[in-house]
Amino acid sequence: MIRLSKISKAVGIENNNHYIIKDISFTLDSKKLGVISGRSGAGKTTLLHLIAGLDIPTDGECWVDETCISKLDSEKRAKFRLENIGFVFQSFNFLASLTISENISVPAYLNNGIKNSDIAQKVKSITEILGIDSLLDRYPNEVSGGEIQRASIARALINNPKIVLADEPTGNLDTENREIVLQSFKRIISEFGVTVLMVTHDKELEKSADTIFHLNDGVLLEAK
């Protein structure tokens, strides 16, 4: 579950503050697909980063299940994020010198809770579900955009997260691969029981969401 309580984020100095997002409250229940929508500059990515603990709010609280991540110090936030939050980037952020399998495995090697001997089997199991297990020995430049995005989803799942956050996950994909990635998100909710929240401009993705949170100039206009 994700719960925000009166979250605001301001930048500036002294009394000359500009609010990127202001007084946002909402809840996304466990095992649901949520979408944050809104035009460019509405504050969508900032909100996602606050939920991920990549940034902290000026005011308010962000909860992931029973943990108020916004109240943790930077070290504890990083540890909590590694163990509980998967992140899917629009630009993939894969290392060109590593194979698909190695890229997926990176967060697991950073997580002391997973034995190194178990990582390869875990990668195999997740990628079989996502239909990319035949690509594990290839390098990022040897696979399609849709395939590498599914590998990004696998990487986000490797540490058994409670939630997966995705920033414009279909922004660089054609229609066919967009649909494949959408079905992949639906499948991981079913198979892994995670909560998924994504930022998108994609109206087709919005149609598949359980809840849509629409932002305008940093303010939550509606949740439906």
Task: Give the 3-state secondary structure of residue 42.
Answer: coil
pLDDT tens readout for residues 178-210: 889 889 999 999 999 999 999 988 887 888 899
Q: pLDDT-based confidence at 14, cuts 50/70/90? A: low
What the chain holds in terms of domains, given with CATH numbers, is 30-40+73-223 (3.40.50.300)
Model pLDDT, residue 155: 96
* Beta strands at 195-199 and 33-37: parallel, antiparallel or unpaired: parallel
Q: pLDDT-based confidence at 56, cuts 50/70/90? A: very high
pLDDT tens readout for residues 116-141: 778 999 999 999 999 999 999 999 99
Nearest-angstrom CA–CA distance, 189 and 87 = 14
**In this model, does residue 172 exceed pLDDT 90?**
no
168: CB partners within 8 A, 6+ apart: 90, 198, 199, 200, 201
Model pLDDT, residue 173: 83
Nearest-angstrom CA–CA distance, 206 and 211 = 8
